[in-house]
Structure 1
Amino acid sequence: MAQRLLLRRFLASIICRKPSQGQWAPLASRALQTPQRSPNNLTVTPSQAQSIYTTRVCTVTFNIQDGPDFQDVVNNETPVVVDFHAQWCGPCKILGPRLEKVVAKQHGKVVMAKPDTDDHTDLAIEYEVSAVPTVPAIKNGDVVDKFVGIKDEDQLEAFLKKLIG
């Protein structure tokens, strides 16, 4: 469990950094080279290697595995939106992807944690979750805003802007 979290954080720190000028040079290897045959088909010479460029990928959604995992995400300096949900909850299945989409549009200004209330009842009790979906907004470890139920994308964007700004 801890190894997975450590690996996730390490990869996020590596992948989420903006590349400096020239840092991500194209990668080429002999395995990626396209062979070209000479006219007499006796000699094989490699043509110019194909280039592979890396893209910037940043994880902004964390599925919570345990209490310490949750505390690490929540006590971060980046504001956190916590989607308390349940697998059996129909409205949660609608809100979850919608909320993930809106959080992704913020480009790392806010992250999202997704604890399942059936698996993490202690967290649900601690954050006074009486119905799902419940979404508290946490900044510097403190709950600054909260809503219960489904919201449309415009309402979610306003919720996040209030948290970030």
Structure 2
Amino acid sequence: MAQRLLLRRFLTSVISRKPSQGGCVPLTSRTLLTLQCSPAGLTVTLSPARLVYTTRVCSTTFNVQDGPDFQDRVVNSQTPVVVDFHAQWCGPCKILGPRLEKMVAKQHGKVVMAKVDIDDHTDLAIEYEVSAVPTVLAIKNGDVVDKFVGIKDEDQLEAFLKKLIG
């Protein structure tokens, strides 16, 4: 109890005191207050707080929600887009999808990937002449610049992406 009272008094004096009084450093959001209890009493230490840097999570893959979403995020995109037309029931799609996502992620934002389920977005599949799945389109500045149907290995996917980026 006595230690809490002492701490409260100390903090009140430190916070209310101006820097010119006694050379005291004011508490800021970047100041770390360290308390140590010992038999001799309570020791309070002020030290600069550690900064924690965070990065924004930038997803390179997204699911297309509807026609306007496709128009906005794919056709109007400044970044080249790989469009994966797939279906839940398609075995090869389940193999290609994760492989393609991994290869797109390795490009560090130079290209993004849109996933279109043909059962949910039949109109888009018809518009882009998708006759089999998986079908992958490379779209740059709103135009289809490359396309493949079926499964590809990682080397072929890397070459496909390099051609789109370059």
TM-score > 0.5 by shorter chain: yes
Structure 1 stretches lacking a partner, 5+ long: 1-27
After TM superposition, list the pairs within 5 Å mapping 1:57-72 onto structure 2: 57-72=57-72
Aligned residues: 136
Task: Say if 1:46 and 1:98 are closer, same or farther in 2 by CA, change over 3 A.
Answer: farther
**Secondary structure in 2 aligned to 1:143?**
strand
Closer, same or farther: CA 135–43 of 1 in aligned 2, 3 Å: same
SS at match of 1:160: helix
Amino acid at match of 2:151: I
User: For residue 84 of structure 1, what is the aligned residue in structure 2?
Assistant: 85
CA–CA distance in 1 between the matches of 2:41 and 2:126?
A: 74
Query: Which residue identity does 1:137 align to in structure 2?
Result: A
| Structure 1 residue 36 displacement after superposition | 3.7
Structure 1 residues 151 and 39: CA distance shift in structure 2, 3 A: same
Report the CA distance shift for 1:122/1:34 in structure 2 as closer, same or farther (over 3 A): farther
Matched residue, 2:38: 39
Taking structure 2 as the reference length, the TM-score comes to 0.73
Q: Does 1:96 align with 2:90?
A: no
Q: Distance in 2 between matches of 1:41 and 1:64?
A: 66
Deviates more, 1:41-50 or 1:155-164: 41-50
Partner of 1:8: none
> Alignment partner of 1:95: what SS?
helix
- 1:21-67: CA deviation from partner (whole Å, max 9, x where unpaired): xxxxxxx678xx68543213964746753431112532211111111
Do the aligned partners of residues 100 and 38 (structure 1) sit closer, same or farther apart at CA in structure 2, a change above 3 Å counting?
same
Larger Rg: 2
2:38 aligned counterpart, secondary structure: coil
**Unpaired segments ≥5 residues, structure 2:** 1-28
Task: Check 1:82–1:41 CA distance in 2 against 1; reply closer, same or farther (3 A cut).
Answer: farther
